[in-house]
Amino acid sequence: MKTTLPPRLRPAALAAFVAFLCAAAPSHAQSATHPPTEPPPFREVVDETGRTVRIPQPVRRIVSLAPSLTETIYALGLQDRLVGDTDDCDYPPDAQKKTKVGGGINPSLEVIASLHPDLVLATKSFNRPETTHALDQLGIASYATDPHSVADIIASTKTLADVLGVPEAGASVAEEMQHRLADLQQRLEDLPPKRVLFVVWTQPLISTGQHTFLADALHYAGAISIVDSSRDWPQVNLEEVARLQPDLLVFAESQPGSTSREMEKLAILPAWKILHAVRDRRYAAISDAVNRPAPRIVSAIEELARQLHPAAFAEKPSDSKKESEKENPPSRPVALRASSPNLFPPHRYSSSMGGCACSR
């Protein structure tokens, strides 16, 4: 089914906007009172940003305003209820076929309203509070998540599943994530963490601070960032890096092969050549998925762990539900097939989570 977008009106056209408000409000009221036999089934919850929201039950039509939320909905098996998502929602590929409501920063309220959603999902780091306020004004329920760590993601996924009326699916997804992380932790237990430089951008050198998903993900993957900064995306002095001499460089890979190209580019520069890791081409690539607070982050962490600590995976073959895994040479940043159906097809990374954009 191909949904045609209604013509987007310029926000400046006041008349059109007024007309839109008049048209949208009654239509929503109509959809809300559609099942006249039942008492108005609402459920009141407090979302992760502290707002109290009244959510119509059951939630049949969902609009997602962030790629991570779209991925979570697919992971919970609710893809059929997803009626709209953003331009940035590209994973899984099927998500690209959904009706697009625009970008996460500035979605089209008109398109959202025209989809008659029961619930709009937002996430604090990717969307603006103005958007949820505007949705409130239109009488459209919205729920916002705000995870800050890998553990938060698991908890958030669980709560979200509950809000959407599928607590069992949430529990199983959360359990799987926890199980896989625990397995990983067990494998890496006795190994000293690798000291890595996470490279967000090379010229100038931008890395990640201690309070980001990336730092947390690195930690789970058996690595520790040599950069100790309270800023989320600090510009780092190369001298300091040369003094600390990281074991490896870690890149977030936007395109297959981009990391090795990047590495070759650095290897010819005098300033970078003094890093042993650059000289010896010691590097690892991590999927862009680390930037999305969604269940897939576990796969990205596993993938990185395999590259950082190949020995841990060679000695003790996995006894869990993983499919055929081939051992990978230490520094080959091939897109690994981790467990579960979360594959990494070559895709274009597109969102910039929480204002960050890490894809080099």
Which stretches of the chain bind other proteins, using CB under 8 A?
Answer: 88, 200-201, 203-206, 227-229, 231, 233-240, 242-243, 245, 254-255, 258, 261, 264-265, 267-274, 348-352, 356-360
Provide the token pair at 64.
């997602």
Beta strands 223-225 and 248-253: pairing type?
Answer: unpaired
User: Rounded to whole angstroms, how far apart are CA atoms 216 and 37?
Assistant: 49
Q: Is 49 exposed, middle or buried (0-12, 13-18, 19+ CB in 10 A)?
A: middle
CB 160 within 8 A of CB 213: no
What's the DSSP call for residue 205? T
Measured CA to CA, the distance from residue 318 to residue 323 in angstroms comes to 9
- Map tokens 């908890």 to a residue: 155
Please check whether residue 144 is in contact with residue 48, taking contact to mean a CB–CB distance below 8 angstroms.
yes
Distance CA 245, CA 263 (A): 16
Task: Tell me the C-alpha distance between 314 and 259, whole Å.
Answer: 24
Element containing residue 67 per DSSP (H, E)? helix 67-75
How far apart CA 241 and CA 226 sit, in angstroms, is 8
Residue found under tokens 């397995």: 183
Which one-letter DSSP state was computed for residue 37?
A: S
Among left, alpha and beta (phi > 0; psi -120 to 50; other), residue 54 is beta
Run of H or E residues at 301 = helix 297-308
Integer CA distances (angstroms), 98 to 114, 149, 169, 181, 252, in order: 14, 28, 22, 31, 27
Are 107 and 86 within 8 A, CB to CB? yes
Pairing of strands 52-56, 42-46: antiparallel
